[in-house]
Amino acid sequence: MALPEYAELCCQSELSFLQAPSSPEALVQQAASLGYQALAITDECSVAGVVRAWRQAQEHQLSVITGSLFRVRGKGGKPADDHNRQAPAQLDTGHESHTPTSWAFVALATSRHGYGTLCQLITQACARAPKGQYELWASDLRLLQDCLVVLLPPPASTLAGMACGAQALEHYFVGDWFVGETALLHANEPAIRQQVRALAQCHQVPLVATGQVLMAQRSDKPLQDIMTAIRLGVPVHRCGHALAPNAEQHLRGRVRLAQLHDAQACNKRSPLPIAASSIWAVCATSTHKKSCPRAIANKPT
């Protein structure tokens, strides 16, 4: 089978404190070795890893996407919900901190102006909460301009939370947004993916494949487990379901990704848009006459 083009749109580095073990440089090297077209560095409420990733990417034929991941606790999906502020999100939050309606998304800048509004959103969310935390309101989505947003499926969000997030994006966000679909071989995943697809169809937005990557390689899983235990303040053997059930949240080969998404496609539909049907890129020049990190996103037809 032909190798599909692929751009990973959700990838956290070690700059997401105690969530991911791999450095931005290691992630870029692995993505380049796998033939990825682009890699988004989306640390939580931060763009700290983008510069290191971009510097490493200059040695490879790889484009770096500037982005960030955000979690919203509580409903936050309807306008009225802004009057009931949710508890601030911890910067070191993990799957174990879900509320029934928590949801997460990644915002990807598509221009210099988009990068500025993304940084403005990060600053505003952090300014509302004590150090080491941030508080994001649904109405903050209005700040994002020249950005693309991917609403993340489980394990980053709950299914109920995805519904709230879709409402928030429809009401507050004026740009293009997508529903992410992830193949991590978790329990009940076929049923979950069916509900995710139904949500995308209900809101008439495209699906886009994301890996919710935390590791450069599968062999990083033991270190990932240790970091989870440190974050929780308990020994590894007491972490239970807080540990990822497998090591699938690493940068995987393109053939493997194509097989996973095609094998589980509903009603023998075409595979999810793992390969970009078109690539939208903006590269602004800096004052030092060197190119800035590129902003690229999969936009399926």
Measured CA to CA, the distance from residue 175 to residue 172 in angstroms comes to 9
Q: Which domains does the chain have, with CATH numbers?
A: 7-298 (3.20.20.140)
- The 10s digit of each residue's pLDDT in 37-55 is 899 999 999 999 999 999 9
Hey, which of 193-197, 280-284, 289-293, 296-300 has the most confident mean pLDDT? 193-197
Give yes or no for residue 101 having a pLDDT over 60.
Answer: yes
**Can you read off the two tokens belonging to residue 141?**
């989505």
pLDDT score at 91: 52
Measured CA to CA, the distance from residue 233 to residue 150 in angstroms comes to 31
pLDDT score at 82: 38
Position 165, amino acid = G
Is there a cis peptide before residue 153, judged by omega within 30 degrees of 0?
no
Q: What band does 61 get if pLDDT is binned at 50, 70 and 90?
A: confident
Q: Say what the alpha-carbon torsion angle 117, 123, 126, 132 is, to the nearest 10 degrees.
A: 110
Q: What band does 74 get if pLDDT is binned at 50, 70 and 90?
A: low
CA atoms within a 13 Å half-sphere pointing along the CA-CB vector of 118: 31
Spatial CB neighbours of 40, under 8 Å, sequence gap ≥ 6: 7, 8, 9, 10, 11, 64, 65, 66, 67, 106, 108, 297
**Can you read off the two tokens belonging to residue 217?**
């390689």
Instruction: Report percent pLDDT > 90 for the chain.
Output: 68
**Can you read off the two tokens belonging to residue 151?**
């609403």
**Can you read off the two tokens belonging to residue 228?**
């989870």
Give yes or no for residue 226 having a pLDDT over 60.
Answer: yes
**Can you read off the two tokens belonging to residue 290?**
């060197």
- The 10s digit of each residue's pLDDT in 79-100 is 333 333 444 555 544 444 567 8
Give yes or no for residue 260 having a pLDDT over 60.
Answer: yes
pLDDT score at 268: 29
Higher pLDDT, 100 or 69: 69
Q: What's the mean pLDDT when you consider all of the chain? A: 82
Q: What band does 3 get if pLDDT is binned at 50, 70 and 90?
A: confident
Q: What are the Cα distances from residue 300, in Å, to 188, 205, 278?
A: 26, 10, 7
DSSP code at position 106: E
CA atoms within a 13 Å half-sphere pointing along the CA-CB vector of 33: 10
Give yes or no for residue 264 having a pLDDT over 60.
Answer: no
**Can you read off the two tokens belonging to residue 46?**
């931060």
pLDDT score at 258: 87
CB atoms within 10 A of CB 182: 24
Q: What band does 10 get if pLDDT is binned at 50, 70 and 90?
A: very high
